[in-house]
């Protein structure tokens, strides 16, 4: 079993997702208010996005031989919801095991050091392994369901993490808050960053579920993924 996956993003009309030059006042609300209306047991982001929430300090890691038990680690937690980060080589550091009201779960590869695992355990941050060198995102979803009971997962970006899940065919719904803005920055991350160039991959087709005008001139567009397209 795997969670039902809804990807939620705020994008400009040209699909850009970094707000550096958008000049929006109170800029978090455009993403957060619609996001809060999407029922989910967890949100998941990429390593780059999570570094906006994790510790800004890199703590001193233990040296020498460490005996870390093998396998996934489910820490003790009181939270009902989770904040999941795709962090294959362990670059996020933590002062606490919570982001807001959510318990943190790190998704790692087996390439991370025992000293990093010791850091996570010392902060009571849960972690799961999604592969030896590369992540198997289907396995990651299955573990989130089985170990933490996550049945509905909201993927909140950035573009690379969205693109990976899209390419793996693991997104069920896409929720886009379309900002009335043309950004125009060449090379800036877009809503889905799946692959360079045109390979054999087919684009993903959506069916419109609902559309609503919000914040005067923004659109909140919800789509379901059309599967089995030839
Ligand atoms: N407008 C919005 O709604 C919105 C929402 C979220 C974020 N953002 C913005 O988006 C920007 C970041 O986006 P981004 O696309 O650059 O980064 P991102 O998706 O947040 O993180 C990318 C990183 O996650 C890891 N990763 C993702 N998928 C992976 C996979 N399948 N296998 C292995 N590792 C994987 C890699 O980490 P390593 O590099 O460590 O290997 C990769 O470099 C930020 O400026 C943020 O503020 C905007």
CATH superfamily of the 1-41+151-230 domain: Dihydrofolate Reductase, subunit A (3.40.430.10)
Domain boundaries, the chain: 1-41+151-230, 43-148
Greatest alpha-carbon span in the chain: 59
Q: What is the pLDDT of residues 35-90, one digit of tens each?
A: 999 999 999 999 999 999 999 999 999 999 999 999 999 999 999 999 999 999 99
pLDDT at 182 over 90: yes
Structure-token match 């659109």, residue found: 219
Ligand 1 centroid – CA 47 distance (Å): 6
Strand (E) or helix (H) holding 119:
helix 114-122
When pLDDT is cut at 50, 70 and 90, the band that residue 228 belongs to is confident
Per the omega criterion (within 30 degrees of 0), is the bond before 138 cis? no
Question: At 194, is the secondary structure helix, strand, or coil?
Answer: coil
86, 112, 136, 171: which to mutate for ligand 1, most atoms within 8 A of CB? 86
194 lines ligand 1 (CB under 6 A): no
Dihedral in degrees, nearest 10, Cα atoms 12, 163, 41, 140: -170
On the CB side of 170, CA atoms within 13 Å amount to 22
Residue-level pLDDT at 230 = 54
Query: Do 176 and 68 form a contact (C-beta atoms < 8 A)?
Result: no
């Amino acid at each position: 079993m795997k969670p039902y996956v809804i990807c939620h993003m705020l994008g400009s009309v040209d699909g850009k997702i970094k707000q550096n030059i958008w000049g929006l006042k109170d800029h978090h609300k455009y993403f957060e208010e619609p996001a809060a209306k999407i029922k989910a047991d967890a949100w998941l982001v990429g390593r780059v996005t999570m570094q906006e929430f994790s510790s800004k300090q890199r703590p001193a890691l233990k040296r020498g031989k460490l005996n870390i038990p093998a396998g996934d680690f489910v820490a003790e937690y009181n939270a009902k919801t989770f904040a999941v980060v795709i962090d294959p080589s362990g670059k996020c550091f933590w002062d606490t095991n919570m982001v807001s009201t959510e318990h943190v779960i790190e998704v790692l590869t087996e390439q991370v050091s025992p000293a990093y695992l010791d850091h996570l355990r010392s902060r009571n941050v849960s972690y799961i392994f999604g592969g030896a060198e590369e992540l198997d995102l289907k396995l990651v979803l299955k573990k989130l369901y089985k170990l933490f009971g996550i049945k509905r997962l909201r993927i909140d970006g950035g573009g690379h993490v969205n693109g990976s899940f899209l390419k793996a065919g693991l997104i069920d719904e896409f929720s886009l808050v379309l900002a009335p803005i043309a950004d125009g920055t060449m090379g800036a991350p877009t809503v889905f960053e799946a692959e360079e160039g045109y390979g054999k991959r087919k684009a993903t087709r959506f069916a419109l579920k609902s559309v609503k005008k919000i914040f005067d001139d923004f659109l909140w567009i919800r789509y379901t993924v059309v599967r089995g397209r030839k």
